[in-house]
Amino acid sequence: MKCHVPGANVKVLGRTVHALARFGDELYLESLPDCILLRTLNAAESAYAMVKFNKNFFSYFNYNYYSTEDNEGLKCKISMKSALNTFKSPTHMDKQVENLEIKLDADACKLIFQLKCRHGIVKTHFVTILDCKAMQAVYTKDTVPNRITSPQRILSDALNNFQSSDDQLTLEATPLSLILRNYIDCSIDLTKIIRTQITLKPAEFDSYVIGTETIITFSLKEFRALLAFAEALNLPLQLHFETTGRPAVFIVHNGITFEAHFVLATTKPDSTSQTTATQNTSVERKKRKDTTSTQGSVKKKPHLDMDVSKCLDEDSHLFNFVEIPDENFIESNNKQNGHVSKDNKNNSKVEAMDCDNIPASPTSKTIKSVFKRCFESTFDPRSIQGVILAENSDSD
Amino acid sequence: MNEGTSQYYFTASMDSGKTLCSLLKAIQFQETAVFCALAEGLKLTVEEGKCVQASAYVPSDNFTEYHVRDDVDVMFKISIAVLAECLNIFGSGEESSLKMYYRGEGSPLLLVLQPQSMHNVMTDCEISTQTADSVLELRDEDAAEVAKLVLKAPAFLGLLADLERSCDVIEINLSPDHPNVSIITYGMQDRSCIDMPKSSDMVQSFSCESPVTLRYQLHHIRLIMKALGISTKVVLRCSSNGLLLLQLKLEKEDQRQMFSEFYIVPLLDD
């Protein structure tokens, strides 16, 4: 494989590599007859990213440059550090680099990046190939009920309000609003955290379709990285998701030259629905991505299916669920601690009324019951009078 | 020379200590420097492990007043960090005029700084000095110069900044044939190579008779980056014994020049 990337696109490629570096430590490159795919998977196998560069992204593209006999695409795995070293400062790259040549020989053990820079300087990076396997995750993005297209600014502006220590984000999607809140782990001391919640109206988005109301929780680190990527390229972000426990897919594409898919695992649903969710996932694993007319889902070559199924059978934990304690456990736990025992009665009352009972961040109910009262017209102290299990230890 | 200053070994004054301060900071990779006042100008030398020697030169025409007693050697050791700190005592936004006095061996270096924007404010600094150790004589008169390169400093800085930090060794190949300059770094598993023909815009002059390969510690080469950042032009000279001499020119608004100079000892072949 040999291809040339023109100066302006080198910046895009550099941004891509930097975004992928926030996901995983290894970069998989695969060259197909009409495109190049870059993929990565994080160490926990909960986040996956795939960026496809079409033939027209390149000024020269020869998939079969070294005229190998087999028509299979060339695949290689390189260290993300090496890739980052090639694209050191993507912000200035378009000004410095005139052309980038990428060469991959089927027999060679090096992937060659040759940057032709200003002043007639040529920088060549000989990157060691670690492996010749391809890796791919299977996910649905076209048949999901919930799809949102967001201008890149809105979500990143919203995320700016969150603490940098927040590591997971809960997204509550209803046809009337999209609520973003930080996920609070039940083990954290509630007095030491800041709860952030932001409500976005459907009018803010370019398109907003919620087929099934749902609440999903996923990792914020990778989400921030993909938002930064969308923002750097000034492109809208598409969110495709189903329910909790199923992967959420984020898509950034410019419609012509490249398309990026970022797939994040969401935390598992509560125990009752877990079995069905698992079944769904296994069904999904067999299901192929729809081959629609959009250029994004170009037909996969048959040999890939083998790779994929093998890969999934062998070692894909991509969408394994993250273990969180279930509701009942928390409830009893709380009772033991005497944490919410004082207004236990009220708590259960609220719980019954509260339709957005979030399995993902159970302890938040205490907070909500407090906040809820603020919005009631009259505060009735009797409503919180329950059986007092623990007296106030001190008058103040 | 009037009566008042003749008792001092060295006196100098300057309208603005700012450029001097940035020049000192550029070679400030060691705690102490050897301060040497010559008739031609001021020279401060810093050494790292007998492998790198960096000097800052301030020719006497940069000073409005400059006197050195010619019957004694004016040479002492001083903390370069403290000296730079004192020159910057009114903050980086303030231009301040500077006077330096050195009475004699064992006495401190006196600095008087006066900010230009304020009247009747001045700072008197006294920096203690130590007896100077001998300075390494790295230049070997017998070793011929095998290559000389004149490069634009900002572009060369850009190249060095892009080199992988984790590399230990930098290899510089110079050759009369294309590509005339090639810089190779060996990382953990990868190899990177920068080729620069002599026709490049950033090469202002190139002379090399026969191909040479020189290896240096990348860490040593990186020490020049601060100085490159404030310079306009850099001259690289390679001796036949592998010693690399880099001379950097710092041009000021008033057309006067200050220099910094780095000697870097090569890595020996295994």
pLDDT 10s digits, A105-124: 777 788 899 999 888 889 99
pLDDT at A222 over 50: yes
Q: Looking at the domain assignment, is residue B165 inside a domain?
A: yes
CATH topology of domain A146-297: Proliferating Cell Nuclear Antigen (3.70.10)
Question: A42-56, A185-199, B91-105 — which is least confidently predicted?
Answer: A185-199
| Count of CB atoms situated within 10 Å of the CB of A320 | 14
pLDDT of A360: 45
Q: Looking at the domain assignment, is residue B140 inside a domain?
A: no
Residues B172 and B249 in one domain: yes
- Domain residue limits at B77: 3-131
Closest listed residue to residue A14, CA positions, set A115, A137, A122: A115
Class of domain A2-128: alpha beta
Residues B118 and B155 in one domain: no
Instruction: Please indicate whether, in this complex, the C-beta atoms of B162 and A123 are within 8 angstroms of each other.
Output: yes
pLDDT of A347: 42
Q: Looking at the domain assignment, is residue B199 inside a domain?
A: yes
Q: Looking at the domain assignment, is residue B181 inside a domain?
A: yes
Question: A167-171, A187-191, A357-361 — which is least confidently predicted?
Answer: A357-361
Tokens representing A101 are: 């040549």
Residues B120 and B170 in one domain: no
Residues B124 and B213 in one domain: no
Run of H or E residues at B133: none
Using pLDDT thresholds of 50, 70 and 90, give the confidence band for residue A276.
very low
Q: Identify all chain B residues contacting A88, using CB atoms and an 8 Å cutoff.
A: 162
Q: Identify all chain B residues contacting A118, using CB atoms and an 8 Å cutoff.
A: 201
The domain boundary, picked from B109, B131, B153, lies at B131
Question: A13-27, A369-383, B182-196 — which is least confidently predicted?
Answer: A369-383
pLDDT in tens, A285-334: 333 333 333 333 333 333 434 444 444 444 444 544 444 444 444 444 44
Least CB-CB distance to B199: which of A79, A120, A124? A120
Q: Does residue B213 belong to the interface with chain A, where contact is any CB pair within 8 Å?
A: no
More confident residue, B252 or A61: A61
Sequence ranges of chain A with CATH classification 3.70.10.10: 2-128, 146-297
Using pLDDT thresholds of 50, 70 and 90, give the confidence band for residue A76.
confident
Q: How many domains would you assign to chain B?
A: 2
The domain boundary, picked from B107, B131, B155, lies at B131
Tokens representing A60 are: 């020269």
User: Using CA atoms, how far apart are residues B175 and B172, in angstroms rounded to an integer?
Assistant: 10
Residues B121 and B152 in one domain: no
pLDDT of A338: 42
Q: Looking at the domain assignment, is residue B139 inside a domain?
A: no
Residues B181 and B105 in one domain: no
Instruction: Please indicate whether, in this complex, the C-beta atoms of B196 and A128 are within 8 angstroms of each other.
Output: no
More confident residue, A228 or A270: A228
Residues B149 and B119 in one domain: no
pLDDT of A65: 74
Q: Which residues contact B140 (CB under 8 A, 6 or more apart)?
A: B239, B241, B243
State the best of B149, B159, B160, B162 to mutate against chain A, taking most chain A CBs within 10 Å.
Answer: B162
Looking up residue B234, the CATH number of its domain turns out to be: 3.70.10.10
More confident residue, A146 or A321: A146
pLDDT of A316: 42
Average pLDDT over residues B130-157: 86
Percent of chain A with pLDDT over 70: 66
Tokens representing A29 are: 């490159």
pLDDT of A105: 76
Using pLDDT thresholds of 50, 70 and 90, give the confidence band for residue A68.
low
Residues B158 and B114 in one domain: no
pLDDT of A51: 94
Instruction: Please indicate whether, in this complex, the C-beta atoms of A120 and B197 are within 8 angstroms of each other.
Output: yes
Residues B122 and B192 in one domain: no
pLDDT of A31: 87
The domain boundary, picked from B131, B154, B181, lies at B131
Average pLDDT over residues A363-376: 48
Q: Rg for chain A (alpha carbons), in Å?
A: 25
Q: Is A113 exposed, middle or buried (0-12, 13-18, 19+ CB in 10 A)?
A: buried
pLDDT of B116: 83
The C-alpha angle A76, A47, A28, rounded to 5 degrees, equals 5
pLDDT of A267: 85
| Count of CB atoms situated within 10 Å of the CB of B257 | 16
Using pLDDT thresholds of 50, 70 and 90, give the confidence band for residue B260.
very high
pLDDT of B33: 92
More confident residue, B264 or B120: B264
Average per-residue pLDDT in chain A? Answer: 73
User: Using CA atoms, how far apart are residues B248 and B255, in angstroms rounded to an integer?
Assistant: 15
pLDDT of A285: 37
Residues B112 and B7 in one domain: yes
Cα distances from A244 to residues A142, A237, A281, A312, in angstroms, run 17, 20, 12, 21
Using pLDDT thresholds of 50, 70 and 90, give the confidence band for residue B138.
confident
pLDDT of A388: 57
pLDDT at A359 over 50: no
Alpha-carbon gap: B155 to the closest alpha carbon of chain A (Å): 9
pLDDT of A95: 80
Residues B150 and B188 in one domain: yes
User: Using CA atoms, how far apart are residues B131 and B133, in angstroms rounded to an integer?
Assistant: 7
pLDDT at B197 over 80: yes
Q: What one-letter code names the amino acid at A182? A: N
| Per-residue DSSP letter, B85 | H
Closest listed residue to residue A28, CA positions, set A87, A104, A96: A104
Q: Looking at the domain assignment, is residue B138 inside a domain?
A: no
Average pLDDT over residues B51-63: 91
Closest listed residue to residue B59, CA positions, set B68, B71, B46: B68
pLDDT in tens, B165-183: 888 899 999 998 888 899 9
Alpha-carbon gap: B205 to the closest alpha carbon of chain A (Å): 14
State the best of A114, A116, A123 to mutate against chain B, taking most chain B CBs within 10 Å.
Answer: A123
Q: Looking at the domain assignment, is residue B230 inside a domain?
A: yes
Helical packing angle, A220-233 and A7-21, nearest 10°: 170
Residue A156: phi and psi, rounded to 5, are -70, -35
Residues B78 and B164 in one domain: no
Instruction: Please indicate whether, in this complex, the C-beta atoms of A122 and B202 are within 8 angstroms of each other.
Output: no
Handedness of CA B202, B206, B211, B212 (dihedral sign): negative
